Chain A
Amino acid sequence: MIPEFEKFKRFKAKNLPKEELLAPGHRACQGCGEVLALRMVMKALGPNVIVCMATGCMEIVTTPYPQTAWKVPWIHIAFENPASVASGIESALKVLRRKGKVPKKHIDILAVGGDGATSDIGLGWISGALERGHDFTYICLDNEAYMNTGVQRSSCTPYGAMTTTSPPGKKSFGQVTWKKNVPGIAVAHNIPYVATASPAYFLDLMNKVKKAALVKGPAYIHIYSPCPTGWGSAPERSIEFAKLVVETRVFPLYEVIEGRYIMSRKITKPKPVQKYLKGQRRFRHLDEEHIAYIQQRVNADYEKLVRLSEIT
């Protein structure tokens, strides 16, 4: 077991930190589930952190010069590389501490990227940083397409979803591939902590972020992040979808602690995936056959996950 978790005090509904480390005035769309997830992440981490961010919606909406929504040190270099930037910061602080040039106090290092930055363009960079064992947390805010550039498909776009580069047409039904299992890739690096989270389950999300920060070495958290603009969903329903995605087993919540899978929330009576798909324009064109296929694969993936939690 991880020793840092023993002294860990869980967040409860009554003791949520009041402090906002992300200021209002950011330019995220109405009902943005991604900025909301980010807000929760920052609440969990507190002010003693350095944030490295990939190019993407969150970077754009929080830092149009000369303003910033950030109340913690923050850096953006490029799209694919926040994990490498975090590697550099972590290495720098390590040696500067040894040389007595910065205070001894530990500082959390957070790298954040969207699903495109994480599952596509930056995957190698993340792999490198995880493999090298830097003490940092990587968070993927997954809104399931390249939203910042106008809703193009990524390898995290779900099967069947309509994006501007996976359009349904006479010969296609939208995204033809199944969502890439990025948490699984993170697990394959034998890092101490991997988790999935959804902003609907904010205590679960915040506790996972805190654990990720506490653990020594790399941690990876994959956070489902509703995007009303990209999904064609009503802004007020972002949290509803963030719940439904879990209740339908489409996006199961789990932790992998030192290789051991732990289901955060067992969904014993799942709602049909149809309930989740409905109300999102990106899935509107799907016929019964596609939905049946999605249902079958969702079931299979979930069962596989449960088995993993039983055998590890």
Chain B
Amino acid sequence: MAKRVGIEVSIALAEAVKLANVDVIAAYPITPQTHIVEHLSEVVADGEVDAEYVPVESEHAAMSCCCGSSAAGARTFTSSSSQGLLLMSEILFIPGPMRFPIVMAVVNRALSAPISIWNDHQDIMSQRDIGWIQTFAENGQEAFDLTLHAFRVAEDRRVSLPMMVNIDGFTLSHVVEAVELLSQEEVDQYLPPFKPRYRLDPRKPITMGPVGIPEVYSEAKVAHNEALKASRKVILRGWKEFADLFGRQYNPIETYRSEDAEVLLVTMGSISETAMTAIDTMRDKGQKAGLVKIRLWRPFPGPEFRKAAGKAKMLAVVDRCLPPGAICGPVGAELRSLFYKVPGGPKIFNFIAGLGGRDVTVERFEEMVDKSMVFAKKRPKELYEVIGVREK
């Protein structure tokens, strides 16, 4: 039976990996991911899970090791953050097309320079196009549940793609929350053993990772992209079965008090909880504000988002990332594309907030909504605004 405990979110996530009966963990420590890998080292050392913990010498080696492990047919997990995720970058692009269902927890953190250990989404947004399924957790329960979901979806033979769960560094990873941990029997009911479609095996030798000559490179890339797009069915099915078994339903896009809203805040990750409080405050004041939360970032759930946006006139899109020289933030750009020339589509304003651990408070969310009201009447010069930044 599931039991509800007070637990640090990193530990809860690591417990999910343990309950998934993981075979190989290859990881390199980086703040704020450390508690996940420390806990996994412990459970391996104590024999709570029969797995190999490979203490690799870098994140690049971690992802390389994961590719080998997954290719050999093992259930494989790693975790990283920030600079570490970027050191992995070269290899992150590879398990997708090669169809290795590695699962990774990314503990989101800012990028250097200046060096910062605190939270934002610049790490993952810089790696947006690696071709992994990417989800964002909002709280500890989600971090636990989405990790199990990730193994289930990634390893589904129709999918067979790498998948990551993003959790905000410190603001989520290091907080203690009440989380309902599933029992081993419950997890086993949800997550079947990993049966890879192909593996490195001398009894049936195959060549993995051949040279993509020009005659075939485009087809290989499209095949991967189509597989990623087609994974949405399995992602949704995985959430539905999770709800059937354990009563918690997840959706690619979720809404909060959005029905009749004129302005919709759009958020990802743990700031959504503060955003909900902000919406309540604004609603109390009579403002027609609501919230849309993006849980599934890749493949992007366009139809679900359009439905969630409903008839709202304005979207106040929050990005946790400032892409220098760009027209706007990555989530902002995604939604602008989604609604471009859609008749009756909303006006879109983009707010860059919470860089490098800067708090995004209720007041900041209110400011974004208020500014959107103003911008709706008078178009701003730039397509985005960095919220709360001092000029002098």
Say yes or no for A73: interface residue by CB 8 A criterion: yes
Interface stretch among B132-140, B207-215, B363-371? Answer: B207-215
In the complex, A131→B67 CA distance in Å? Answer: 20
Say whether B23 contacts A68, CB under 8 Å: no
- B61 on the interface (CB 8 Å rule)? yes
Write out, one digit per residue, whether chain B residues 61-76 have a CB within 8 A of any chain A CB (1) or not (0).
Answer: 1101111111111101
The reply to whether B213 and A77 form a contact with Cβ atoms under 8 Å apart is no
Residue pair A77, B64 in contact (C-beta under 8 Å): yes
Stretch at the interface among B51-59, B103-111, B115-123, B272-280: B51-59
Closest B residue to A134 using CB positions:
B54
User: Which residues of chain A are within 8 angstroms of B56 by Cβ–Cβ distance?
Assistant: 84, 87, 128, 132
Q: Are A125 and B91 in contact (CB under 8 A)?
A: no
Contact of A96 among B71, B73, B91, B216 (CB under 8 A): B73
Q: Place the interface of chain A in its size category.
A: 35 or more
Instruction: Name the segment of B198-206, B223-231, B253-261 touching the other chain.
Output: B198-206
How many CB-defined contacts (below 8 Å) exist between A and B?
Answer: 163
Cβ A86 vs Cβ B207 within 8 A: no
C-alpha spacing A207/B62, complex, angstroms: 33
Closest to A124 in B: B57
Contact B73–A85 (Cβ < 8 Å): no
Question: In the bound complex, do residue A72 and residue B60 qualify as a contact, i.e. CB atoms below 8 Å apart?
Answer: no
**A185 in contact (CB, < 8 A):** no
Task: Name B209's contact: one of A50, A76, A124, A128 (CB within 8 Å).
Answer: A76
Whether A144 is near chain B, meaning CB under 8 Å from some CB there, is no
Q: Which of B60, B73, B76, B200 contacts A80, CB < 8 Å?
A: B60
A102 beta carbon closer than 8 Å to chain B:
yes
B contact residues around A64 at 8 Å (CB): 210-211, 213
Q: Does B90 contact A (CB under 8 A)?
A: yes
Given A91-B24, A95-B51: A63 touches B211 (CB 8 Å cut-off):
yes
B26 near A88 with CB under 8 A, answer yes
Once the chains bind, are B210 and A65 in contact (CB under 8 Å)?
A: yes
Shortest distance in angstroms between B68's beta carbon and chain A's nearest beta carbon? 3
Q: A81 CA to B58 CA in the complex, in Å?
A: 11
Known contacts A66-B216, A88-B26, A95-B51, A128 near B69 by CB under 8 Å: no
With contacts A73-B200, A96-B73 taken as known, whether A85 is within 8 angstroms of B58 at the C-beta atoms is: no
Q: Please state if A128 and B57 are interface contacts (CB–CB under 8 Å).
A: yes
Distance between Cα atoms of A66 and B91 in the complex (Å)? 22
Min CB distance B127 to A, Å, is: 16
Given A48-B202, A128-B58 in contact, is the A95-B210 Cβ separation under 8 Å?
A: no
- How far does the alpha carbon of A288 sit from the alpha carbon of B70 in the complex, in Å? 55
> Are A78 and B94 in contact (CB-based, < 8 A)?
yes
> How far apart are the CA atoms of A70 and B119 in the complex, in Å?
46
- In the complex, whether A89 has a CB less than 8 A from a CB of chain B is yes
What is the bound-complex CA distance between A77 and B210, given in angstroms? 9
Identify the closest chain A residue to B212 (Cβ). Answer: A65
Q: How many residues of B contact A (CB 8 A)?
A: 44
CB contact list, B61-105 vs A, under 8 A: 61-62, 64-74, 76, 90-91, 94
A96 in contact with B23 (CB, 8 Å): yes
Are the CB atoms of B69 and A84 closer together than 8 Å?
A: no
B50 at the interface (CB under 8 A from A): yes
Complex alpha-carbon distance, A94 and B26, angstroms:
14
- Does the CB pair B202–A77 fall under 8 Å? no
Contact of B55 among A78, A84, A85, A132 (CB under 8 A): A132
Known contacts being A92-B72, A92-B74, A95-B52, is A85 close to B65, with CB within 8 Å?
Answer: yes
Say whether A71 faces chain B, with CB atoms less than 8 Å apart. Answer: yes
Most-contacted residue by chain B among A76, A77, A98 (CB, 10 A): A77
**Is A60 among interface residues, defined by CB-CB distance under 8 A?**
yes
User: Are B61's CB and A128's CB within 8 A?
Assistant: yes
Contact between chains at A95 and B50 (CB < 8 Å): yes
Q: In the complex, which residues of chain A have a beta carbon less than 8 angstroms from the beta carbon of B23? A: 92, 95-96, 99
Q: Bound complex: CA of A90 vs CA of B220, how far in Å?
A: 28
Q: Is the CB of B24 within 8 A of A92?
A: yes
A125 vs B26: C-alpha distance when bound (angstroms): 13
Residues of B bordering A, CB below 8 Å: 23-24, 26, 50-52, 54-58, 60-62, 64-74, 76, 90-91, 94, 200-202, 204-213, 216, 220
Interface residues of A (CB under 8 A from B): 47-50, 52, 59-60, 63-68, 70-78, 80-81, 84-96, 98-99, 101-102, 107, 124-125, 127-129, 131-132
Q: List 13 A-B contacts (CB under 8 A).
A: A63-B211, A64-B213, A71-B205, A73-B201, A76-B209, A77-B91, A78-B64, A85-B65, A87-B26, A87-B56, A95-B24, A125-B61, A125-B64
List the 4 closest pairs (A to B, CB-CB), nearest first: A88-B68, A128-B57, A84-B64, A92-B74
